Structure 1
Amino acid sequence: MSTSHAFHRATSLQRLAQDDFDVVVIGGGITGAGAVLDAASRGLKVALVERDDFASGTSSKSSKLVHGGLRYLQQGDVRLVYQALRERKRLRRNAPHLVKVLPFMIPILTKDGVVSKKIARALGSAMWMYDITGGWRIGKIHRRLSAKKAFAHLPTMPREKLASAYLYFDAEADDARLVVAVLQTAAERGAVIANRCSVSSIDSTSTTSHTLTVVDTLTGQPFTVRTRSIINATGVWADDIRALDEKVHPDTIRPAKGVHLTVPWEKVRNDIAVVIPVPRDRRSLFVVPWIPNGDGTYRFTYIGTTDTDYTGPVNDPQCTKDDIDYVLAALNASITTGVTTDDVTGVWSGLRPLVKSDAATTGRTADLSRRHKVVASAQGIVTVTGGKLTTYREMAEDAVDEVCRLLNVKKSSKTKTLSLHGARHSRPSSHPQDAHLHSRFGNQSSVLKKMMEQDPSLAKELVPGLPYLRCEAVYAVTHEMAVSVDDVLTRRTRARLLDRRACVAVVRDVASLIGPHLGWDDATKEASIAQFMDECAREDAAAMVTEAEFIASHS
Structure 2
Amino acid sequence: MSRFANIFKSTFVRATLGATGAAAATVVYLDFIRPPAQPQIKNSYTPLAKTAPAPPSRDELMKRLKETDKYDMLIIGGGATGTGTALDAATRGLNVCLVEKNDFASGTSSKSTKMAHGGVRYLEKAIFQMSKDQLDLVIEALNERGNMLRTAPHLCSVLPIMIPVYKWWQVPYFFIGCKMYDWFAGYQNLRSSTIFSRETTCALAPMMDSTNLKASCVYHDGSFNDSRMNAALAVTAIEKGATVLNYVEVKQLIKENGKLIGALAVDRETGEEIVVKATATVNATGPFADKILEMDEDPKGLPPKTPQPPRMVVPSSGVHVVLPEYYGPQGMGLLDPATSDGRVMFFLPWQGKVLAGTTDTPLKSVPENPVPLEEEIQDILHEMQKYIAFPIDREDVLSAWSGIRPLARDPSKLPKGKEANGTQGLVRSHLITQSETGLVTISGGKWTTYREMAQETVDTVVKNFKFDHPIGPCKTNELILVGGDDYSKNYSARLIHEYKIPLKLAKHLSHNYGSRSSIILELYQESDQNKLPVTLATDSTFEPSEDEASKGNKLSYQSFDQPFTIAELKYSMKYEYARTPLDFLARRTRLAFLDAREALSAVDGVVDIMRAELNWDNATAKKMAKEAKSYIGLMGISSKKFDVEDFVIQ
Q: TM-score, normalised by structure 1?
A: 0.90
One-letter amino acid of the structure 2 residue matched with residue 408 of structure 1: K
1:429 aligns with 2:525: no
Contact 2:253–2:260 under 8 Å retained in 1: no
* Separation of aligned partners in 2, 1:267 and 1:303: 10
CA contact (8 A) 1:278 1:330 kept: no
Q: Give 1:149 shift.
A: 1.2
* Correspondence list, 1:336-415, <5 A: 336-356=389-409, 369-408=427-466, 411-415=472-476
Would you say 1:286 and 2:339 are equivalent positions? no
Distance 1:60 1:7 in 2: 24
Q: Is the 8 Å Cα contact of residues 397 and 636 (structure 2) preserved in structure 1? A: no
Would the aligned equivalents of 2:260 and 2:437 in 1 still touch at CA under 8 Å?
Answer: no
State the AA in 1 paired with 2:200: K
Matched, 1:257 2:325: no
Q: Distance in 1 between matches of 2:492 and 2:232?
A: 20
Q: Tell me which residue corresponds to 1:547.
A: none
- Structure 1 residue 455 and structure 2 residue 527: aligned? yes
Contact 1:319/1:542, CA 8 A, preserved across alignment: no
**Residues of 1 paired with 2:506 and 2:393: CA distance?**
35
The residue number in structure 2 matching 1:63 is 113
Structure 1 residues 43 and 92: alpha-carbon distance in aligned structure 2, compared to 1, 3 A threshold: same
Once the 2 structures are TM-superposed, how far is the Cα of residue 86 of structure 1 from its aligned partner?
A: 0.7
In the TM superposition, residue 268 of structure 1 has moved relative to its aligned partner by 3.9
SS at match of 2:346: strand
In 1, Cα distance between equivalents of 2:598 and 2:637:
17
Q: Paired residue for 1:198?
A: 249
Q: Which has the larger radius of gyration?
A: 2
Q: Residue 169 of structure 2: SS of its match in structure 1?
A: helix
Aligned twin of 2:194: 143
Matches within 5 A, 1:204-243: 204-205=255-256, 210-243=261-294
In structure 2, give the amino acid aligned to 1:338: P
C-alpha contact (below 8 Å) 1:157/1:335 kept by paired residues? yes
Query: Which residue identity is paired with 2:120?
Result: L
- Find the partner of 1:84 among 127, 141, 146: 141
What residue in structure 1 maps to residue 152 of structure 2?
95
The structural deviation recorded for 1:271 is: 3.8
* Counterpart for residue 512 of structure 1: 608
Q: Supply the distance in 2 between the matched residues of 1:343 and 1:364 (Cα, whole angstroms).
A: 38
Counterpart Cα distance in 1 of 2:517 and 2:633 = 34
Tell me the SS of whatever aligns to 1:159: coil
Could you tell me whether the CA contact under 8 Å between 1:462 and 1:510 is conserved in 2?
Answer: yes
Cα 1:312–1:205 change in 2 (3 A) is closer
The answer to whether structure 1 residue 18 and structure 2 residue 67 are counterparts is yes
Structure 1 alignment gaps of length 5 or more: 111-116, 293-299, 545-555
C-alpha contact (below 8 Å) 1:199/1:212 kept by paired residues: yes
Aligned AA (1:210): I
> Are the equivalent residues in 1 in contact too, given 2:349–2:355 (CA < 8 A)?
yes
Q: Which SS does the other structure have where 2:317 is aligned?
A: strand
Q: Residue 161 of structure 2: SS of its match in structure 1?
A: strand
Contact 1:253–1:355 (8 Å) recurs in 2: yes
2:234 to 173, 178, 183: 183
Once residues 620 and 383 of structure 2 are traced to their aligned partners in structure 1, the CA distance between those partners, rounded to angstroms, is 43
Q: Secondary structure at the match of 2:367?
A: coil
Cα displacement string for residues 363-398 of structure 1 (whole angstroms, at most 9, x for unaligned residues)? 699x96540000111111100000000000000011
Q: Give the SS at the match of 2:251.
A: strand
Q: In the superposition, relative to structure 1, how do residues 135 and 280 fare at CA in structure 2: closer, same or farther (>3 Å)?
A: farther
> Could you list the per-position Cα deviations for residues 143-167 of structure 1 after superposition, in whole angstroms to 9, with x for gaps in the alignment?
1111111112221222122100111
2:381 is equivalent to residue 328 of structure 1: yes
In structure 2, the partner of 1:54 is: 104
User: Superposed, which structure 2 residues align to 1:310-321 within 5 Å?
Assistant: 310-311=363-364, 313-321=366-374
**Alpha-carbon distance between aligned partners in 2 of 1:66 and 1:268, rounded to the nearest angstrom:** 19
Q: Contact 1:277–1:330 at 8 Å: present in 2 too?
A: no
Match of 2:644 in 1: none
Taking only the aligned residue pairs, the percentage that are identical comes to 33
Deviation at 1:280, TM superposition (A): 2.1
CA contact (8 A) 1:64 1:173 kept: yes
Give unpaired runs (5+ residues) of structure 2. 1-50, 127-133, 299-303, 497-502, 536-559, 641-650
Matches within 5 A, 1:159-174: 159-174=210-225
Using the TM superposition, give the Cα deviation of residue 515 of structure 1 relative to its aligned residue in structure 2, in angstroms.
Answer: 1.7
Deviation at 1:131, TM superposition (A): 0.6
- Residues 302 and 139 of structure 1: CA distance in aligned 2, closer, same or farther (over 3 Å): closer
Do 2:259 and 2:436's aligned partners in 1 also have CA atoms closer than 8 Å? Answer: no
Note if 1:476 corresponds to 2:576.
no
Inter-CA distance 469–258: structure 2 relative to 1 (3 Å threshold) = same
Greater length-normalized contact order (CA 8 Å, ≥ 6 residues apart): 1
CA 1:260/1:192 → structure 2, altered by over 3 Å: closer, same or farther?
Answer: same
Amino acid at match of 2:154: H
Aligned to 2:81: 31
Deviation at 1:119, TM superposition (A): 3.2
Matched, 1:531 2:581: no
Give the deviation of 1:488 after TM superposition.
0.8
Partner Cα separation in structure 1 for residue 466 and residue 623 of structure 2: 47
Q: Distance in 2 between matches of 1:368 and 1:108?
A: 33
> For the structure 1 residues 200 and 474, does the alpha-carbon distance in structure 2 shift closer, same or farther, using more than 3 Å as the test?
same
Deviation at 1:4, TM superposition (A): 5.8
> What is the letter of the counterpart of residue 487 of structure 2?
S
Instruction: For residue 222 of structure 1, report the CA deviation from its aligned partner.
Output: 1.2
In structure 1, what is the Cα distance between the partners aligned to 2:257 and 2:177? 50
Distance 1:72 1:369 in 2: 13
User: What is the deviation of 1:3?
Assistant: 7.8
Whichever residue aligns with residue 94 of structure 1, its letter is: T
- Compared CA separation, residues 246 and 330, structure 1 to 2 (3 A): same
- Structure 1 counterpart of 2:256, which letter? T
The answer to whether the 8 Å contact 1:422/1:443 transfers is: yes
User: How many residues of Structure 1 are paired with residues of Structure 2 in the alignment?
Assistant: 529
- Whether the aligned pair in 1 keeps the contact of 2:287 and 2:366 (CA below 8 Å) is no
**Residues 278 and 125 of structure 1: CA distance in aligned 2, closer, same or farther (over 3 Å):** closer
- Deviations, residues 189-241 of structure 1 (Å, cap 9, x unaligned): 10001000110111122687613100111222211111111110000100101
CA distances 1:344-380 after superposition (whole Å, capped 9, x unpaired): 1101110011113669965699x96540000111111
AA aligned to 1:354 is L
* CA gap 1:183/1:207 in 2 versus in 1, 3 angstroms: farther
Shift of 1:269: 4.6
Which AA in structure 2 matches 1:40? A
Asked whether the equivalents of residues 476 and 482 of structure 1 are also in contact (C-alpha less than 8 Å), the reply is: yes
Instruction: Give the residue type in structure 2 aligned to 1:453.
Output: Q
Deviations 1:237-280 (A, max 9, x none): 00101111122867111011111101112244554111125642
Higher mean C-alpha displacement, 447-456 vs 389-398? 447-456
Q: Distance in 2 between matches of 1:526 and 1:291?
A: 30
What's the RMSD between the two structures over aligned residues?
2.4
TM-score with structure 2 setting the length: 0.77
Residues 89/267 of structure 1: CA separation in 2 closer, same or farther (3 Å cut): closer
Partner of 1:124: 175
